[in-house]
Amino acid sequence: MASHLYSKRLLYYDGQAQSTRSRQTFRSIDPSTGSPIADIEAASQPDVDAAISSAESAFPSWSATPPTARSRILLRAVAILRERNNELAEIETRDTGKPFTETSTVDVVTGADVLEYYANLVASGGLNGETTQVRPDAWMYTTKTPLGVCAGIGAWNYPIQIALWKSAPCLAAGNCMVYKPSEFTPLHAQTLAEIYTEAGLPAGVFNVVNGAGDVGAYLAAHPGIAKVSFTGQVSTGQKVAASAAGGMKYVTMELGGKSPLLILPDADVDQAVDGAMMANFFSTGQVCTNGTRVFVPEQMLEAFEKTLLEKMQYVRLGDVMSEKTNFGPLVSKVHYDKVLGYIRHGIDVDGAKLLYGGPEKPELPEGSSVELKNGYWVKPTVFTSCNDSMRIAREEIFGPVMCVLPYATASPSYLDDLVARANDTPMGLAAGVFTSNLSDAHKVVARLQAGITWVNTWGESPAEMPVGGWKLSGLGVENGRRGLEAWVRDKSTLVEMGGSVASAFAKL
């Protein structure tokens, strides 16, 4: 067998790497070259059963461990993640194709930040309940208890970040987790499990099963699972939520979007263009919160397009480990075909005006290695003069394809019309507005149907900020104080101290 860049990835439970009983493997591919970089062992159903039973065995002791003691272990994992940042970031770059300039500054960093946030939160009273004196002789208190064994199912675009955004609040709250990474980007999962073990996490608290949708479906439907936290497409989320509903399981659904970015007439053009580029080309457009519907006032259109074209030269393809590269390939051949299909549809069927990019292979910088020619590279693409009924402006493409939608400002109700157009989508993940008028910013944001909104910026998602979608984009939130609530159940207790029981059945 040919040797790959990385060693074979196994399953992980009972505190150690485990070989699959299925004897089946699949491969992880470097999207920048199309070459295999590791073999991955796929879980069979008995492997998933074994991982769940490992988590079940660990739960009584882990859930009874005081939050401060759990916190100390998780903070040790944070330190290891930060020490190994560049090595982990390189794994993410090879697995996803995202440039190292991105993975080394965002992916591991934001994952470790969230782990640190929840470790600190539970150690400082984040799991405390409420107490109310109901009357002098009675009081009521609430307690938060962990749910049990939870499933985490990840998408391929932010692999280790997603694993940490799920496992951090889950474990901090006293639950155990069986985590399934995306089959396209599974390399981080075993490494993260090993880091948790090195930090002192007891065996069985964090477990990994690898595989495709069938493994995810079996895991989500398993009677041993109390909650499913899922990140992925709307259509998959609908299936997972339906399967979880049968078992009355808790769910968190972090799904896709087709988010609007509203540039108001008084916005600074330069800033608006920077925001629109971040909202469309960061991570080669493979960000769930992308602002792909960019609404630009007609009178600003010319200046906006001119500035955008000038700045498109700062999108730099090339060796994904180079410090110059800020734009990688798409994650897989399947996804490459899907995104190119949308670009062709935009030109051939929607009849949108192509301002930049297109379906041809992009030029790679002079001196690039021959291997890069086989990667899943696309041109960052801008369609302009789009309208709301075009397919490219309605469906999530999840690639570097910006749709510029001009709007008129002559009518006194133009802001109402603009907000109505922005909200005219079944999804509601993110939205944003660029303006120099703060009161307009707040008024518009208040009316946007989205769970994550930005004013005069795009994309930042610190640990303190709860994030989750409205409408078809999801259920519940991750991160922030609210994100912890998704991993506990509440118990209310009323205590009577008056020495008599209020009864409807007293003697007349």
What is the set of active-site residues? 166, 254, 288, 478
Nearest to 294 by CA among 422, 436, 419, 414: 422
Rg of the chain in Å (alpha carbons): 25
Helix ranges restricted to H, 351-460: 414-423, 438-447
Output 262 or 288, the one with its CB closest to ligand NAD.
288
- Looking at the Cβ atoms of 112 and 415, the one nearer to ligand NAD is 112
**Of 230, 132, 26, 8, which is closest to residue 492 (Cα–Cα)?**
132
Least separation in angstroms between residue 237's CB and ligand NAD is 7
> Buried (b) or exposed (e) across 470-487, using 16+ Cβ within 10 A?
bbbbbbbbbbbeebbbbb
Q: Mention every residue, 6+ apart, whose C-beta is less than 8 A from residue 420.
A: none
Quick one: 148 or 154, whose CB is closer to ligand NAD? Answer: 154
Tokens of 459: 């994309």
Q: How far is the CB of 20 from ligand NAD (least distance, A)?
A: 16
CA–chain centroid gap for 202, Å, is: 27
* Residue with Cβ nearer ligand NAD (163 or 312): 163
Q: How many CB atoms lie within 10 A of CB 237?
A: 24
Closer residue to ligand NAD in complex, CB, 58/330:
330
In Å, how far are 17, 77, 110, 326 from 82, measured between CA atoms? 23, 9, 10, 22
Residues that bind ligand NAD (CB under 6 A): 153-158, 180, 182-183, 212-213, 216-217, 220, 231-233, 236, 239-240, 254-257, 288, 396, 398, 429, 469, 474
Write the DSSP symbol of residue 472.
T
To ligand NAD, the closest distance from the beta carbon of 430 in angstroms equals 9
User: Looking at beta carbons only, is 15 or 256 nearer to ligand NAD?
Assistant: 256
Distance separating alpha carbons of residues 99 and 434, to the nearest angstrom: 28
CA atoms within 13 A on the CB side of 354: 18
Cβ neighbours of 243 (radius 10 Å): 18
Name the minimum Å distance from CB 469 to ligand NAD.
6
How near is the Cβ of 295 to ligand NAD at its closest, in Å?
20
Closest to 261 (Cα-Cα) out of 448, 15, 133, 507: 448
**Residue 498: partners with Cβ closer than 8 Å, 6 or more residues away:** 137, 138
Q: What type of residue sits at position 314?
A: Y
Q: Which residue, 178 or 300, has its beta carbon nearer to ligand NAD? A: 178
Residue 241 has which token pair? Answer: 């939520």
Nearer residue to ligand NAD within complex by CB, 146 or 186: 186
Q: How far is the CB of 178 from ligand NAD (least distance, A)?
A: 12
Terminal C-alpha separation, the chain: 89
In angstroms, give the least distance from the CB of 92 to ligand NAD: 14
Tokens of 425: 């989508």
**Shorter beta-carbon distance to ligand NAD: residue 232 or 375:** 232
User: 132 vs 129, 139, 142, 488, 495, CA distance in Å?
Assistant: 10, 6, 9, 20, 10
d(CA 421, CA 407): 10
Residue number of the CB closest to ligand NAD reads 216
Question: Measured from the CB of residue 189, what is the shortest distance to ligand NAD in angstroms?
Answer: 11
Q: What is the dihedral of CA 40, 55, 167, 208, to 10 degrees?
A: 0
Query: Which of 100, 158, 111 shows the shortest CA–CA distance to 328?
Result: 100
C-alpha 296/C-alpha 408 separation (Å) is 9
CB of 214 to ligand NAD, least distance (A): 8
Q: Which of 42, 157, 26, 56 is nearest to 98 (CA)?
A: 157
